[in-house]
Amino acid sequence: MSNVGSTNVSFVGLTNNSLTSALVELETAPQRVRDLASWLLNQAALAANRLVSEGLSAVGAHRSHYTVLAALDEFGPASQAALARRCGIDRSDMVALVNVLSRDGLVGRRPDVADRRRNVVTITAAGQRRLRALETVLARLQDALLAPLSAPERDQLVTMLRRVVDHHGAT
C-alpha cells in the first residue's frame, strides 16, 4: 500500500516507503529550493520514475518493453536501428531487448528484404495484448502519481509539461 497524496493506492510490489523515500527532502530542503520549478520537477520525476519502475516490475515488465511495443504498434515495423533511435535506446541495448521480447513472443524479427544485414522488428498479436495490459497498469500508475489533482488539472499539467519539453527540444 502506498500513500500518494491523500489517496491510498495499492500495487503489488510497492511498499509504504517506495514513493516517499525520494521525496524526503521536501520537508528538509530550504524553502527557496522548494520554490524552484526545476527542483519540483525533479522531485516529481523521481517519484514518477520510482512508481512506474516498481509498478511495471511487479508485472514482469520494464519501461523499455512498453516503449518498444508502443512504437511498433503506433509506427509499424522498423529496423532495430530505427527502433533504437525512435525509442531513445542504445543500439546494443536494443539488440538485447529485442532478443527478450522475441523470446517472449511479443515481437517478431526477420531479415529486411531490401538489406539482409538489417533485421525488421514487428509486434505480434501477443505483443499487442501485452501492450494493452501494460497500458492498463500504466493508467493506474498515472492515477496514483497524479492522485492529488483533478482530471482537468491533470490535463493542464500534461499540456504545460509538453510545452516546456517542446520548448527545450527534448523528445
In this prediction, residue 54 carries a pLDDT of 96
15, 35, 58 — which closes off a domain? 58
- Judgement on whether residues 93 and 48 belong to the same structural domain of the protein: no
Residue that finishes a domain, picked among 42, 58, 74: 58
Has residue 155 been placed in a domain? no
Confidence tier at 23 by pLDDT (50, 70, 90): low
Residue 159 has pLDDT above 80, yes or no: yes
Coil/strand/helix, residue 171: coil
Give the whole-angstrom CA distance, residue 145 versus residue 171: 21
Q: Say if residue 82 is in the same domain as residue 54.
A: no
> For residues 21 and 34, which has the higher predicted lDDT (pLDDT)?
34
Helical (H) or strand (E) element with 79: strand 78-79
The CATH number for 111's domain is 1.10.10.10
Residue 144 forms part of a structural domain? no
pLDDT at 45 over 50: yes
Class of residue 65 by CB neighbours under 10 A (exposed 0-12, middle 13-18, buried 19+): buried
Would the pLDDT of 112 be above 90?
no
Does 9 fall in a domain? Answer: yes
The residue range of the domain holding 89 is 63-131
Predicted confidence (pLDDT) per residue in 61-102, tens digit: 999 999 999 999 999 999 999 999 999 999 999 999 999 999
**Count of domains forming the chain:** 2
